[in-house]
Chains A and B, each alone.
Chain A
């Protein structure tokens, strides 16, 4: 069974540009969540999507957005990139985040460097 797949793995962008990251969850998983990992702030929750609807949102500015497609694949977008957006962006999938038996699996992440 394939795990959570994220693309691209590495990318370099210039300040002011925008970026789109993609995530394919584990087959059968309907919940996709996104996290940002930086040395200074650690792992922080961005948002979660379930059945194409945003279910939860973390404390990030509106420049960070996402969406989920009918096949549960998800994308996140960061507009007007800032140097501080340089981070490892992690996608995680689970069957249903509202279930108390929910287990969350992470992908390998997308390394974003903003120059």
Chain B
């Protein structure tokens, strides 16, 4: 089955700096790659997603890049703010089973003042 690896497990950055979280997936058939932010005591919140026919997608301070050849995708957060502190999860799914997400192990991002 699909396996998604996520790095780093923890990341501490100063406010205003950029943060990058990387994920690799094993199944080349995967075509949908969402990123979720989970705050303490809450459910995962979708922050951005990318499909395999696109190499990059940006939404204000957040961007995701996808390298299908390397089976690698990354989340980039620029100008980080304290409210960006949370656990971030990457995930992948295949055509026809888009609700069956395989998640990475999560990255705890801490933005310090």
**Chain A residues packing against B (C-beta within 8 Å):** 4, 31, 33, 35, 42-45, 48, 55-56, 58, 90, 92, 94, 97-109
Contacts and interface: CB of A to CB of B under 8 A. Distances in A.
Interface stretch (B64-72, B77-85, B90-98): B90-98
Interface stretch (B18-26, B45-53, B55-63): B45-53
A100 B105 contact: no
A102 B97 contact: no
Given A35-B101, A103-B46, 8 more contacts: A33-B100, A42-B106, A90-B44, A97-B99, A100-B51, A103-B34, A104-B98, A109-B42
A42 B44 CA distance: 12
Given A43-B103, A100-B31, A100-B51, A106 B98 contact: no
For the residues of B in contact with A, the DSSP-based class is loop
Contact of B43 (A94, A100, A109): A109
Nearest to B95: A100
Interface of B: 31-32, 34, 36, 42-46, 49, 51, 89, 91, 95-106
A108 B106 contact: no
Of B45, B97, B99, B104, the most chain A CB neighbours within 10 A belong to B99
B42 A94 contact: no
Contacts of A106: 36, 43-46
